[in-house]
Amino acid sequence: MKKLLLWMLIFLPAGAIAPGGQGDPVAQWTALTAANSGFYANLVYKVANNYECKLDVITPGSLSKVRPVFIYYHGGGWISGTKEEVTLYTLPYLAQGMDVVNVEYRLAKVSLAPAAVEDARSALHWVYTHARQYGFDLDRVVVSGGSAGGHLCLMAGMLTPEAGFDNEFAGQDKINLKVAAIVNSRGPTDLVAMIDEPTPPWFLLNWFGSLPNQRELAKRLSPITYVRPGLPPVFTMHGDADEYVPYQQQAVRLHEALTRAGVPNQLHTIPGGKHGGFTPEQVLAQQQAAIDFLKQYGILPR
């Protein structure tokens, strides 16, 4: 709760607190937005393998107003996690006046790789096809996530239909899925390097299961494979002591590849940071840097 209150105090939208107002600023912001805000839970965005993939839409105001949209994918190594566990992570962006789409996807126990990537793209497609209903600004779509969710947001934002993950949309009206920015928190970016380790991470092995040609699959599922000029701006935050997703192998290499390709990007390093357990001060610094990045590229007002 302390961390949540810190987030809310730092990222309250300008003008949310009336000049000279008294009392708890978080309570004031809540009261001002509650009248028109909405929470639309467990909307089914696709059905695959008899499994209903669901998402939540959270709006800070009336649906009649068009807003930038923040799509968030939870972490858990593609084998665990829920969207409900990460709802609070989206609050700084909600407080900036963004709509939030909080996504779940098929985990390994339901479907092995590449199902989660297909679902990440499907959720983005759903945002496009429901933009008018929920007031999503398709020129200001941000995809984000942490850990495995960081990997999925990179894949969702970097892929093209030619990569072969959009086959479920074949025969439908063609939609050019594009995002305005990617906010990646400690996501795996080079699965080939991970699968080639003497002891590959157990969560990656569980996601691949007994699928054949795993090195080829790892390359196809690596965001670094799709680095090219013209990608949207990419913000990456990563601890340099990450014990599960190696900082140099994953974050630094992505940063260097994006830079060589001329893609606007920023690597925000958390000194001594592991894969989680950041201090409130580190969390605030990460969030402020990400918000500033979105402002720099015109997704949020300065």
- Burial 92-119, CB ≥16 within 10 A → b, else e: bbbbbbbbbbbbbbbbbeebbbbbbbbb
Q: How large is the angle between the packed helices 25-34 and 2-11, nearest 10 degrees?
A: 70
Enumerate the domain spans of the chain: 2-8+37-296
Residue 88 has pLDDT above 90, yes or no: yes
Residue 15 has pLDDT above 60, yes or no: no
The model carries a pTM of 0.89
Q: What are phi and psi of 164, to 5 degrees?
A: 90, 15
| pLDDT (average), residues 33-38 | 62
DSSP 249: I
| pLDDT (average), residues 37-58 | 95
Residue 179 confidence (pLDDT): 98
Residue 23 has pLDDT above 80, yes or no: no
Candidates 3.30.1360.170, 3.90.1560.10, 3.40.50.1010, 3.40.50.1820; correct CATH number of 2-8+37-296? 3.40.50.1820
Q: What are phi and psi of 31, to 5 degrees?
A: -65, -40
Residue 29 has pLDDT above 50, yes or no: no
Model confidence over 91-144: pLDDT tens digits? 999 999 999 999 999 999 999 999 999 999 999 999 999 999 999 999 999 999
